Structure 1
């Protein structure tokens, strides 16, 4: 049996899909132009842009409700919040990759840009494949739930952010066929003598691609636990990935400020995985799912703030 083309699977108005692609593309272009030539945003700029992208992502709920239904609007917000939070973990991995390959600050912007583009593409493929598999084989739902539960446990134990690019098969393949040179501006390869060599920028990009593939496999099951509408999932993923260049400069501070962020995300993923595994027995409504997700995130943030205040209140015995 032939696999249906993506638009047939999504079963939505091509004009709506085209509009989403154009809006996300325009936003990515704005992001690229604002931080052109590797310019690093100031802390104030990063905060304002991050808030702006967050508001934009949430405002998309309105057309989703108008064009589809209130339930789909609630599902969109739920998936958006989950994916937006998971994108922080994605950025942490990018940060580790940049540190591993000592990527110059001026070149990080272009890698982030391509990392976001590739993440959108990878997640689009994962959504299309996921919808096809779920429609044909119901057992896939339980497999996705089990995978998500494993991811939740790894994240809770702090093992999800481990990065060792030298063990990546993609990086090994490049090292096998090409010699590695030094950085040469924003070039991915250059000529040294009479040989073409790749720069460490190529290895960093390949490592980001590998990370994008892993995150697509990890994050899409979480979205399917909320809704099986691929258009809602892809739109939520697309808007959740906007503004990561601005958010990147804040990620280290956010991780420090919200010390229980990883554990909170792990609990959210665990609950979402459970929702997938028991959906044939009990299917939570869209508002209930959104309420649980918001409640867990609020609890994690509150506990982090209280822990910081408790530490600040401790007398300095040194």
Structure 2
């Protein structure tokens, strides 16, 4: 089903309007979103995405609606996985929590631009060369294998981008609010905030290389690909603050995503065989193979994600990883903070988290005690807290 140009323009204007609204009313003034704020706006953006899908079912056709929801759920799951890397980047640069919203919104906008470019390039290739389905399927199968081996490659790419930026860009060691440039020793230099955005932008391009083949495996309708991708990214900023503490608990998310990407990769290759025109495969003739329907795809994707989340939240490993990651994050926040009131709050939070560590199974507690970095962070926090207590 073709989509009229006016619908395209209205959709693009609506998405741009939502991004502008997000910046003007939430991000422009630096602050840390409350749990209520993050919950309300996350629910609102998910609601908008669902209503859009219902609209497709009512005013488009059932196939378009089903393809949209399959694509949206897949892209949303991949976006949540992306948040892990965003968390690592912002943690490594010690981005002030109040300024993280602006970094996240930049990442969302850049990701939307990068993925839109890949979408139209991918659509042009698919319309011209049927063999591209084989290529996309192979990319997804390789990506799934790398996820299972823990070799997604994002961290190495992030470090490469960061090293390049540090080498060729003159930057200061300190933040100046959320400014990208500041004056240091009489010279105009870039702040670490710009480096963070460079790192986020670089990883967004890599994420698009996995994301776009995945959704093209579910639908070849460019409008559905674009809207499912766009709505999966909208609200990602609020979701980050809502599930920040839960991200570390999703210890099996990579396995679930690997299963989904492998499934879509097989689906793409089956479709490629069905549409085959490659001369050295079946003499360039179509191959009669079973194709996987959109309804089956949607059921598999949702089923795998539900099982992954339940297994992660219920597992002792998930609880241990979450507890250690929380202590690590709070300890770094304490060491980077200079406000006495905020430090006092963080100390209370750390004490509560340490009590949670004591409730873990013996094997998990032993593994945490052998984590040299974690032990060093906790000891540094204790030393600084005792020192400040003696001087006050």
Could you tell me how far 1:102 is from its partner in structure 2?
1.7
Larger Rg: 2
* CA-CA distance at 1:159 after TM superposition: 2.6
| TM-score (ref. length: structure 2) | 0.72
8 Å CA contact 1:75, 1:227 repeated in 2: yes
TM-aligned CA deviation for residue 74 of structure 1: 0.2
Task: Report Cα offsets for 1:86-138 as digits up to 9, x if no partner.
Answer: 11111111111111222122221111111111111111000000011111122
8 Å contact from structure 1 (residues 92, 251) kept in 2: no
Structure 1 residue 78 displacement after superposition: 0.2
Select 1:20's aligned residue among 4, 11, 29: 11
- Return closer, same or farther for 1:87/1:309 CA change in 2, 3 Å cut-off: closer
Aligned twin of 1:148: 140
Q: Which residue of the other structure, out of 299, 312, 317, is the alignment partner of 2:307?
A: 299
Structure 1 runs of 4+ with >4 Å offset: 308-312, 314-318
Output the TM-score relative to the length of structure 1. 0.87
Q: CA deviation at 1:143?
A: 0.9
Question: How many angstroms apart in 2 are the aligned matches of 1:114 and 1:268?
Answer: 28
> In the aligned structure 1, how far is the partner of 2:190 from the partner of 2:107?
18
Q: 1:29 to 1:310 in 2, by over 3 A?
A: closer
Residue 260 of structure 2 is aligned to residue 268 of structure 1: yes
Report 1:212-251 matches (<5 A): 212-251=204-243
Task: Tell whether 2:164 aligns with 1:167.
Answer: no
State the shift of 1:292 in Å: 1.4
Residue 37 of structure 1 aligns to a residue whose secondary structure is coil
Quote how far apart the aligned CAs of 1:23 are. Answer: 1.9
In 1, are the aligned partners of 2:251 and 2:318 still within 8 Å (CA)? no
CA distance in 1, matches of 2:225, 2:317: 37
| Structure 2 unpaired stretches of 5+ | 275-288, 321-358, 366-392
Give secondary structure in 2 for the equivalent of 1:249. Answer: helix
* Aligned partner of 2:169 among 178, 198, 214: 178
Structural mapping, 1:1-318, within 5 Å: 12-32=3-23, 33-160=25-152, 162-164=154-156, 165-168=158-161, 171-181=162-172, 182-193=174-185, 195-279=187-271, 280=274, 281-307=289-315
Q: How many Å apart are 1:243 and its aligned residue? A: 1.0
Aligned residue number for residue 4 of structure 1? none
Change (3 A) 1:197 1:132: same
Q: Contact (CA 8 Å) 1:78, 1:226: kept in 2 or not?
A: yes
Matched position secondary structure for 2:15 = helix
